């Protein structure tokens, strides 16, 4: 799954600037006239015009280009240039419209002074938040650099110099064994023979392949196709645009390097914003339901068997990220230890454990599972962003350790509370490969309307207890 970050970057800067412009103008008006801008409507149209001019000038002059690469002095110069051009456009336009008498020189004087300080401080704060906070968070794109030993250090250095706020270089894979364990502070995590295994079992979102010795080779084509099957974004040098790849490909950049980006699917920021908005709204409603349910479920669990009310387990999320997955406890406290004794009774073929008459489930737990009430605490996972309302079910660590190339792709989207598997019969599906097929069908054809449809069908499945055991 690939999304364009540049447009999001521009939107963030524009929103920051608009906020600073508005605050500066309102403060200037208050200082000059001793009243707020909205008390009598005076000057509001000038503020609106000012905001529109700043936006237009910023976009026309490409003032937001290389924002995160600019140093402090260069940022100040760029900002002053934007202010000067925008201010001249405003003055000239008002003069030509014969409305310059409505201007207050003191208001605009105060405005320029306040806005220069406020906007500069806000831009620096935005850079710090995005580069030092977002880039190191679970939401950033975790990049693996694949290169030969001769170029790897230079590539890592150049990517760091470009200061991309949405990418975090987490490792280097060398195409030749040179005995290095670290390059520019980044660990060497794999070599040619161990590369695929490392990507399968670690949280990698995208790879950058830069080795001219591989150009045109069967190995490179094999890597692109296998990474694509996993749902990993693949960035390759520009000359490799002609690789025969079933997914989507676009021209892009990683740091200063021009690349062809191969991705299983490409989603816009608008689509992902809608999905996250749906998740937040749905999870807030779910948290209310959870709060009511706890009043009745917690005493029942406690009276039925000793142990905690909630069960927390490490699960594997998007592209291999680990998180704590919550449910109402429906099993005895020694359930995990007893699982090994029951593996030979597994009713699902492949990397998933299901057993209809599982002796580890408590009496109350059976009711919770039949009604899907045990899943309610996952609304907290959704609110935090570890999960989504709709997606693929997150595997356990044990299951993930046995994943192969064809399985990793189901983790290329944030895991969900429900999905195609749940509305297609859940426990009636006895082959893990069938689960993977349903998951990939969902990912490859995703849109927000599909999520809404699955949610409605999930409600029906829960009410009719279809496939629930």
Residue 30 is predicted with a pLDDT of: 84
pLDDT tens for the chain, 469 residues: list them.
455 677 778 888 999 999 999 999 889 888 887 777 766 666 677 788 888 988 888 888 878 878 888 888 999 999 999 888 988 888 888 777 766 566 677 888 888 899 999 999 999 999 988 888 888 888 888 999 999 888 899 999 988 888 888 889 999 999 988 778 888 889 999 999 999 999 999 999 999 998 888 887 889 889 988 998 898 999 987 755 556 666 666 677 787 787 878 887 777 778 888 999 999 999 999 999 999 999 999 999 999 889 999 999 999 999 999 999 999 999 888 877 777 777 777 767 767 777 777 788 889 989 998 888 999 999 999 999 999 999 999 999 988 998 988 889 899 899 999 988 878 765 566 778 888 888 898 988 888 999 999 999 988 888 776 655 5
CB 199 within 8 A of CB 232: yes
Spatial separation of the C-alpha atoms in residues 406 and 411, rounded to whole Å? 11
Residue 138 is predicted with a pLDDT of: 85
Residue 425 is predicted with a pLDDT of: 63
User: What is each CA distance from 269 to 101, 104, 276, 378, in whole angstroms?
Assistant: 43, 41, 10, 25
Which pTM value belongs to this model? 0.77
Q: What CATH number labels 141-263? A: 3.40.50.720
Spatial separation of the C-alpha atoms in residues 330 and 368, rounded to whole Å? 7
- Residue span(s) of the chain under CATH 3.40.50.720 come to 141-263
- Give me the residues paired with residue 233 across strands: 206
Residue 468 is predicted with a pLDDT of: 55
End-to-end CA distance of the chain: 33
Burial level of 458, CB count in 10 A (0-12/13-18/19+)?
Answer: buried
Residue 445 is predicted with a pLDDT of: 87
CB 416 within 8 A of CB 387: yes
Nearest residue to 328 via CA among 395, 387, 380: 380
């Amino acid at each position: 799954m690939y999304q364009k970050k540049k447009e999001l970057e521009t939107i963030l800067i524009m929103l920051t600037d608009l906020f600073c412009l508005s605050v500066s103008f309102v403060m200037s008006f208050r200082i000059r006239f001793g009243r707020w801008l909205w008390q009598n409507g005076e000057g509001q149209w000038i503020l609106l015009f000012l905001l529109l001019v700043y936006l237009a000038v910023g976009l026309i002059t490409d003032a937001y280009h290389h924002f995160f690469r600019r140093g402090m002095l260069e940022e100040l110069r760029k900002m002053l240039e934007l202010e000067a051009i925008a201010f001249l456009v405003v003055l000239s336009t008002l003069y030509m419209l014969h409305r310059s008498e409505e201007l207050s020189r003191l208001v605009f004087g105060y405005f320029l002074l306040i806005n220069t300080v406020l906007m500069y401080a806000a831009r620096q704060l935005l850079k710090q938040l995005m580069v030092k906070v977002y880039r190191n968070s679970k939401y950033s794109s975790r990049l693996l650099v694949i290169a030969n030993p001769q170029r790897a250090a230079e590539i890592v250095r150049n990517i760091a110099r470009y200061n991309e706020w949405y990418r975090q270089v987490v490792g280097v894979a060398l195409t030749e064994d040179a005995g290095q364990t670290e390059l520019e502070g980044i660990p060497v995590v794999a070599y040619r023979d161990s590369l695929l295994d490392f990507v399968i079992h670690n949280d990698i979102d995208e790879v950058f392949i830069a080795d001219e010795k591989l150009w045109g080779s069967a190995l490179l084509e094999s890597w692109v196709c296998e990474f694509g099957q996993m749902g990993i974004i693949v960035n390759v040098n520009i000359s490799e645009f002609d690789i025969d790849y079933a997914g989507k490909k676009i021209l892009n950049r990683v740091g200063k390097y021009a690349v062809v980006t191969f991705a299983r699917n490409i989603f816009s920021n608008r689509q992902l914003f809608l999905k996250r908005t749906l998740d937040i709204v749905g999870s807030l409603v779910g948290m209310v339901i959870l709060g009511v349910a706890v009043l009745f479920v917690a005493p029942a669990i406690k009276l039925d068997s000793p142990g905690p009310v909630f069960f927390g387990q490490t699960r594997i999320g998007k592209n291999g990220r680990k998180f704590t997955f919550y449910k109402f406890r429906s099993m005895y406290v020694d359930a995990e230890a007893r699982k090994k004794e029951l593996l030979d009774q597994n009713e699902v073929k492949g990397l998933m454990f299901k057993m209809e008459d599982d002796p580890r489930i408590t009496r109350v737990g059976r009711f919770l599972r039949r009604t899907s009430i045990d899943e309610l605490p996952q609304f907290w996972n959704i609110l935090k962003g570890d999960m989504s309302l709709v997606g693929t079910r997150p595997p356990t660590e044990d299951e993930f350790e046995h994943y192969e190339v064809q399985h990793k792709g189901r983790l290329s989207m944030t895991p969900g509370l429900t999905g195609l598997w749940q509305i297609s019969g859940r426990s009636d599906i006895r082959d893990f490969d069938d689960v993977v097929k349903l998951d990939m069908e969902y990912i490859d054809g995703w849109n927000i309307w599909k999520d809404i449809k699955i949610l409605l069908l999930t409600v029906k499945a829960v009410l009719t207890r279809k496939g629930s055991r």
